[in-house]
Every structure is written in structure tokens, then in C-alpha cells.
Chains A and B, each alone.
Chain A
Amino acid sequence: MSRARFDELIHAPTRLAIVSLLAAADWADFKLIRDEVGLSDSALSKQLTTLEEAGYVEIRKAFIGKRPRTSARLSKAGRAAFEMHVAALQQIIDRSGAPLR
């Protein structure tokens, strides 16, 4: 189990959803994240920028033919922060003795 550290930046509901999705992927397409999390393009862009500023996410922009394609992935720091955040959540539950849903 990772060292526990609660991360408020990741804990915000929308960002938790994005980071959780990205944690299972090497790269995920912008559209996939948008559709799975249910955000508008601009809202997702804003959240990804916040995560990128924190060094948690890397954004890659490429062209397939003439179409731009944006994808994102968790950086090493982002993955570590996510794992520590999950460990912190688990710790909160363990301390209280409440069952995990």
C-alpha cells in the first residue's frame, strides 16, 4: 500500500473522476474522458489545465490527418499523488472502522 497523503487538488469530485480514469490508462483520448465524465469541452479543458499546472497530468496534442487529437495521461507525480490520496481515503475509513462500499 502507498504512503498516505490526502490531496485536495485531486479530491475535488470532477478531478477525482478524471484522475481515476487516467489512473487505469497509459493515455486517454480527450473525447473519451469528456464523454465518460460527462463534461463539456471547456470544463474538461479547465480541469486538465489545473492538473497540468500541478504537474499531475501531461497533455499531448497530435494530428490524425487534418483533425487535431488531444490526449492526456497521469505523470509520474500525478500517479504517485493519486495512489497516496487513495491510501489516505482508505486510512480515514480504516480508522473509523466503517466498511468500504
Chain B
Amino acid sequence: MGAQARLLLSGAPARLVASATTLERRRGKYLPGRKVHVSFPGGKVLAEWVMGSVMNEYVRPDEAAESLAEVRRRQQQLIDAVLIPGWYWWVVAAAMIAIGLAVDTRRPVVLAIVIPIAVAILAALTGAMIFGAYRRARVRSRELLGARGAASIVGFVWLVVGLTLGSGFALRAAGSSAPATIATVIGGAALLIGGPVLGRRLRQIMLANRAGASR
């Protein structure tokens, strides 16, 4: 093998070299010299890999910037494909308000009908949304969301629950005739306003933590 070719191959991933060695031994092709082989399982793969060692000298800065923009765009695409859709917050808010209305009727029959239906709808939609997203792509949530993302989600849930329950108890103590309804309307509004804000924040966090992002 020529000195130049050996130089180019010197940085080859060990796995590639090892697989080439095994394959070539099976085919009985050896270079005059001994252990090193130049042919890889996919000739095209080798050719492109070898070219890579020298190609960066010919990539213009604007082309590199274009490529980095493409990397960012594609990663955004995947993150957007698995983020919580806008309609979800409307469904959760509507289910909450339905439960609030049912509670304020103080009729056990209404509660027995509305609560299970609302909970079933929520569970089915949440399950379908999560399973659907999971089937399409499993994002690297631990790496992408990190502690900040997890804290944002937990914080948002506590904010909505706290706001709903807190306002409900406060309204009841103040003698309101429909404390549950008003409290769930407040909680629903928090969901509709805060849900998309949470989505944007999670998107930002994931983009900042994506592979290859400048840190």
C-alpha cells in the first residue's frame, strides 16, 4: 500500500478496518505486502470516506454554514414532529371544565356520568398522542430535555393544579355558587396560555441540547 493511502487510512475507524480485513481474508485478496487491505465491503463507502479526509479543504465557509443550517433545520423538524400538538391543550381544558360543571351540579348521577367520560377521553387521547409520537420517532428525551426540561414540565403541572385547586377552595370559602366551574375555567385558561408556552420552551431546550449544537 502506498504511503499516501496508508496515511489516509490511518484514521479509519477500527471497526471498518477490522470488517474489511475479515471480508478480504474470506475473498482471498491480499495486498502484496501483508496485513493491510484497501478494499472495503462497500467500495463506494471507502471511496467517499477516503475523500472525506481531504474534502474539507475544498468546502467553502458559506457551504459549511449552509450545511449547518440544514442540520439545525432537520433536527428542528424531528423535534416538531414529536412535540405536543396545540389541540391537546384545548381538549384537556374542555375536559377540566366539564368536570367543574359536573361538580357544581352536586348531583351524584351527573358526577357518575361526566367524570368517567372526561377521564376516559383524556386518557385515550393522551395515550394515542404519546403512542403515536413514540411509534414515529423516539427522541433522545433524556439528553434533549435534561433537568431543565423535566423541571419545566413538573413546574407547569404544579402551577395548573395549584391554581385550579387554590382558586376552587378560595372561591368556596368566599361563598361562590359555582367554585368548581370558575376554578376549572381558570385552570383551563392557564393550560391554553401556558401549554403552548411550555411547548416553545421545551423546543428551545431540546434545540439547545441537540447533538452538534454549539455550546
Contacts and interface: CB of A to CB of B under 8 A. Distances in A.
A77 B137 contact: no
Given A20-B71, A93-B61, A25 B55 contact: no
Contacts of A9: 45, 48-49, 52
Contact of A93 (B55, B64, B79, B138): B64
Nearest to A2: B212
Given A36-B81, A96-B61, A53 B214 contact: no
Interface string B1-21: 000000000010101100100
B74 A93 contact: no
Contact of B211 (A11, A12, A29, A82): A82
Interface in B177-215: 206, 210-212, 214-215
B187 to A, nearest CB: 32
Contacts of B64: 89-90, 92-93
A20 to B, nearest CB: 4
A20 B77 CA distance: 10
Q: Which of B13, B55, B74, B135 has the most CB of A within 10 A?
A: B74
A58 to B, nearest CB: 13
A59 interface: no
A33 B109 CA distance: 49
Given A28-B137, A93-B61, A23 B75 contact: yes
Contact of A8 (B49, B66, B75, B137): B49
A12 B48 contact: yes
Nearest to A5: B11
Interface residues of A, number: 48
B141 to A, nearest CB: 8
A16 B195 CA distance: 33
Dominant secondary structure at the A interface: helix
Given A36-B78, A98-B62, A25 B140 contact: yes
Contact of A24 (B11, B41, B67, B139): B139
Nearest to A20: B74
B151 interface: no
B144 interface: yes
A62 to B, nearest CB: 11
Given A83-B212, A93-B68, A88 B15 contact: no
Nearest to A26: B138
A11 B75 CA distance: 15
Interface string A71-93: 00000010101110011111011
Interface in B1-58: 11, 13, 15-16, 19, 41-42, 44-45, 48-49, 51-53, 55-56
A27 B137 contact: yes
A26 B52 CA distance: 26
10 contacts: A9-B52, A12-B48, A20-B212, A25-B137, A26-B140, A32-B81, A55-B13, A89-B71, A93-B61, A98-B65
